[in-house]
A and B are shown apart, each in its own frame.
Chain A
Amino acid sequence: MTPIKHYPPKPRKVYFYGTCLVDIFYPEAGMDAIRLLEREGIEVIFPRDQTCCGQPAYTSGYHDEARRVAEAQLALFPDPWPIVVPSGSCGGMLRVHYPDLLADTPWAEAAEDVAARTFELTEFLLHVCHVKLDDRGDPEQVAMHTSCSARREMGLAETAPALLGQLQNVELSEQARAAECCGFGGTFAVRHPEVSGAMVEDKVDAIEATGTRHFVTSDCGCLMNIHGNAEYRRRALGGEHIASYLWRRTS
């Protein structure tokens, strides 16, 4: 079970760990996340040498390789500022798996330290920044897909819906089996493409069945998967990272 997290007061500065998927495919989502944090009066530090958290190798069973990459990331956060990650999956890697992966190594202490100050973006905005969002968009319905890592590994099923709930003109639509995986699962999508494909088709259908034309998610893996399948099937379902959605509606 996810232990109860004690949230610190709002800090003056944070580190932003962008994640490799944001870096490569969705950089604007990263910029929007930074804008949301800066609007709260926080100075955002982007360690330039960040690459990947190591999760793809870790979940594939290549732990030696994952460990080397994780060690390189641990060196990026020398000052005691919180580390904000716009992804439940990479956030979960830092918070939950780094301590296990690096236990009994010279990096164990650093891993524990980084784990303790890692926050997922929506969690940080809600519980540390206590944001008050002012919706400036037109009335619309939107669906939320919470990633499995955010929901189960980090215990954050409620943070993104709570932020969306602050948007006065946005109605959050209720999908069937909302807690079910979209079928991404990192390398699972390419190792078991048919099973993954069946899962993502069901997810797209479930979101569409709500009548919603737009969904948001706090993980770019799920976004790539769900939106990719909707686009492949020529469905009129758009998707974006929640950081972009929140910034777009409130700026």
Chain B
Amino acid sequence: MSVETYNPREFHRQAHDALGNPQIRANFRSAMDGLMDKRRDAFSDQDVERLRDLGANIRRRALAKLPDLLEQLEANCEANGIRVHWATDDDEACRVVRDICDRHGACSVIKGKSMVSEEMHLNEHLEAAGIESLESDLGEYLVQLNEQTPSHIIMPAIHLNTDEISGILHDKTGTERTRDVDTMTAAARSQLRERFMAADVGISGVNFAVAETGTLCLVENEGNGRMTTTVPPVHVAVTGIEKVVEHLRDVPPLYSLLTRSATGQHVTTYLNMISAPRQAGEHDGPEEVHLVLVDNGRSSIYQDDELLDTLRCIRCGACMNHCPVYSRVGGHTYGTTYPGPIGSILMPHLMGLEDTGELPSASSLCGACGEVCPVRIPIPDLLVRLRQEAVGEGRGNVPGAGAKRNKKELAAWKSWQWAATHPGLWRSGLAAAGRFRALMPAKLAPWTDCRTLPRPARTSLHTLIKRRQAQQGGESS
């Protein structure tokens, strides 16, 4: 199966295409407007700022103790009968999952929603090994049928509207065309139900991994997560190493922040807490549970005191819902597993700044992302830091640092610096700009592609004040 691909190097072209597509514009605008309203309403019964402080502190504490907590998590999971695997990068993570599949002679896998598995390109990897991998989250199922990737980390098919979804179900599964959402959902459910029963392995993500108890928490609404983790004989949970929290009591506030920030829900339909495989005397549940802890660049982020904040993320998607850039260009434009503001600060570590160097600049730094982040990640500051990494010599260990370094641009900023630190020269420049304003070109692309060009004033503020002081001096003498 070939999946429609987007590339972060092509951000400009992809943005151009998305902006010129009225259907994409309308789908995202209405979806994001709705999600912003829902979030606001969902926090109306909470002291949102206090809850965000709490969420930020829980995540900070977990990260401060990350190495120890990971060892504690491993020990407690193993004690519970969950087998723990470590993977340095996406390839190794895929190999671990495939080895588990191979040991069980699996030819069919059912997947609950997992962005880490998207990051690993797990579906392609399994399919290349002859293992069929089917997405069971409705949105993921739709994008998989449509041979696409998710356009949002929480709502993977948010770029599609009802008619488009109806067309996909009709074309790919023979479902009768309808505009009735319940009919479509019921059709997808019955298609998936058989596959749950037939699957050899279920693969899920993890929202929070609790170190003190060895519990894997999985937040979902459709019940597909519960099916994935209980029906097949083997359950494999894949997650990034940063998802660990210290205590079980850390989960309720984070869960509350996650659901309210993501979909505006006070609670989700399902919160699965997985602590062991099927025990003697139990009637359901998998015989084996595996946890794959994926690093894939995260421990490198962990080395940097400032960039470390990136790892606080609980993947709610609020930053993209509130981003004026994301809501116009959509998720695919970014060409990365994680789109929007969080993607622009995370993906450079995963893919390197050679490929993703354009992403940190694709923000007006309006601060809407930082304002809603449930764990107070200073996203705008980190965007600026990555811009600095992209154009500078690199003071951290971000892969591809300096990839956007450009002699001409550097020379321009050096000249600007020189002018702005020589006030006399600056004032002469202002005076000249005012005097020769008529010589200014009327067009100066790209500014004038959609705006008129302001002309320098005839008389600068500096000169106006100097004249006034001369006058006042004259009056008083």
Contact = CB atoms under 8 A, between A and B. Distances in A.
Contacts of A59: 365, 384, 387
B363 A185 contact: yes
A162 interface: no
Contacts of A225: 451
B423 A27 contact: no
Given A61-B390, A194-B12, A51 B426 contact: yes
B16 interface: yes
B473 to A, nearest CB: 14
B417 to A, nearest CB: 4
A148 B367 CA distance: 7
Which residue, of A60, A61, A179, A188, has the highest number of chain B Cβ atoms within 10 A?
Answer: A61
A232 B426 CA distance: 30
B450 A57 contact: no
A65 B417 contact: yes
A48 B462 contact: yes
A1 B460 contact: no
Interface stretch (B205-213, B231-239, B323-331): B323-331
Contacts of A199: 324-325, 328, 364
B242 interface: no
Contacts of A196: 364
A56 B339 CA distance: 25
B419 A224 contact: no
B423 A50 contact: yes
Contacts of B430: 23-24
Point out which of B329, B392, B456, B461 has the most chain A C-beta atoms below 10 A from its C-beta.
B461
B274 to A, nearest CB: 35
A143 to B, nearest CB: 18
Contacts of B463: 27
Given A25-B456, A27-B464, A65-B414, A200 B329 contact: no
Contacts of A46: 465
A49 B361 CA distance: 31
A188 B365 contact: yes
B367 A152 contact: yes
A209 to B, nearest CB: 15
B453 A25 contact: no
Contact of B384 (A61, A197, A201): A61
A130 interface: no
B433 A65 contact: no
Interface in B444-477: 445-457, 459-466, 468
Contacts of B386: 61
A152 B381 CA distance: 13
A62 B457 contact: no
B462 A183 contact: no
B414 to A, nearest CB: 6
Nearest to B53: A1
B391 A60 contact: yes
A181 interface: yes
Given A26-B457, A51-B420, A148-B364, A61 B387 contact: yes
B450 A191 contact: no
B366 A51 contact: no
B387 A60 contact: yes
Contacts of A148: 364-368
Contact of B452 (A60, A179, A183, A232): A232
A163 interface: no
A227 B321 CA distance: 27
B324 A180 contact: yes
B303 to A, nearest CB: 19
Interface in A31-65: 31, 34, 46, 48-52, 54, 56-63, 65
A25 B460 CA distance: 8
B38 to A, nearest CB: 16
Contact of B371 (A152, A194, A231): A152
A68 B417 CA distance: 7
- Chief secondary structure at chain B's binding surface: helix
Contacts of B44: none
A1 B414 CA distance: 33
A184 B365 CA distance: 10
B343 interface: no
A147 to B, nearest CB: 9
Interface in B50-84: none
Contacts of A69: 416-417, 420-421
Given A68-B421, A69-B421, A153 B367 contact: yes
A187 B383 CA distance: 14
A150 to B, nearest CB: 11
A195 interface: yes
A30 interface: yes
Nearest to A53: B420
Contact of B16 (A24, A187, A194, A229): A194
Interface string A121-148: 0000000000000000000000000001
Nearest to A20: B420
A80 interface: no
Nearest to B33: A177
Contacts of A236: none
B388 A63 contact: yes
Given A27-B464, A65-B417, A231-B452, A192 B362 contact: yes
A173 B377 CA distance: 33
A178 interface: no
Contact of A181 (B324, B361, B388): B324
Contacts of A186: 364-365
B436 interface: no
Interface string A201-227: 100000000000000000000001100
B13 to A, nearest CB: 10
Contacts of A52: 416, 420
Contact of A190 (B365, B384, B447, B460): B447
Contact of A61 (B362, B389, B459): B389
A162 to B, nearest CB: 21
7 contacts: A25-B455, A61-B386, A72-B423, A148-B364, A192-B12, A193-B447, A197-B450
Interface of A: 1, 18, 22-28, 30-31, 34, 46, 48-52, 54, 56-63, 65, 68-69, 72, 148-149, 151-153, 179-181, 183-201, 224-225, 228-229, 231-233
Given A57-B417, A197-B449, 8 more contacts: A23-B460, A27-B459, A62-B388, A62-B410, A68-B421, A192-B362, A199-B328, A228-B451
